[in-house]
Amino acid sequence: MSTSENPFGQVLVALVTPFTADGEVDWNDVEKHIDRCIQDGADGIVVTGTTGETSTLTDPEKLKLVEVAKSVSAGRAKIITGGGSNETAHAIELYKASEKAGADGIMIVTPYYNKPTQAGILTHFRMVADSTDLPVILYDIPGRTGVPIAYETILRIAKHPNVRAIKDAKGDFSQVSRVLNQTDLLYFSGDDANVLPHLSIGATGLIGVTANVASAPYRTIIDAVNASDLATATAAHQALEPLVRAIMTHVPGTVAAKYVLHGLGRISSPRVRLPLVGPEEWEAAQIEDELALVGAIDGVDFKNFRPDRNAAAGGALPKVAGTTR
């Protein structure tokens, strides 16, 4: 698939933002983690999204994440900035600044907490898309925003020339098919457990949390689907299943991903920022029980997994408060 058809890539990592033990961004770990994901097969990196703890990042941190990711990728992967804001004016300014910082695309989440009508959602998307020349991914995640993007709204905003794709995290496969039939939007699976089912009905790729830990198997799935090799794609999907369960079912994906990455020695601290906290003892035990079921996966060796429940406990208050409304 050429970049003219798809400006985002197909294996996109919803990147965690590594922090130090006191909750400040660990820029050395950020660089190492991005490089590792790209080496393992990611061709797109989404910074400052939900998994990147955008709600507790400052605007300067968000923009620096774009700059650092752009530098580390050195053309090997597209850099997409996520997050945004539930205030349209703030979202516009943040995305304009992200474009100047070098982002290759933007991902606009449905305004959260406000619970706007579909007319308000449509206006928000249009105004943000009007403010940039970058290709846009819509992000539909009603479990976090409180409001789904209605099918009719997707059809209307899909006519905007900058809106190129949608990330679906609500699992409505019938709507996926309808949108693919009636628009030119690229579809990205935003549900780690359903990546292969989404691809099987025409999705372009994934924006995944578990890909922080294991990008290579998702590369295998994408390449196999592109080659019409269902058997290889299915085998990789099945091998990932216990890891996806470990990351996505017991605590927020960010928390579990950092816990696992730290246990593998890939980041220096599993710290998250409040109000997120690390897994409690029983939650950590559940994550570890799931990981014990993981077999051979490209790029990950759980024989070297050394979890540290004490390091993960609690959450951090950074020195400067975040600016996302």
Whether residue 167 lies in the annotated active site: yes
Q: Per the residue annotation, which of 95, 112, 139, 259 is the catalytic one?
A: 139
What angle is formed at CA 28 by the lines to CA 217 and CA 79, rounded to 5 degrees?
Answer: 55
Alpha-carbon span 241 to 73, nearest angstrom: 28
- Kind of pairing between the strands at 11-14 and 78-81: unpaired
C-alpha atoms less than 13 angstroms from C-alpha of 145 in its C-beta half-sphere: 26
Name the binding residues.
51, 207
Name the binding residues for pyruvate.
51, 207
CA pseudo-torsion sign 124, 128, 129, 130: positive
Report the interhelical angle of 230-248 vs 216-226 (nearest 10°). Answer: 150
Q: Per the residue annotation, which of 167, 187, 218, 258 is the catalytic one?
A: 167
Nearest residue to 99 (alpha-carbon basis) of 112, 113, 84: 84
Whether residue 112 lies in the annotated active site: no
Dihedral, 40, 44, 46, 51 alpha carbons, nearest 10:
-40
Report, as residue numbers or ranges, the catalytic residues. Answer: 139, 167
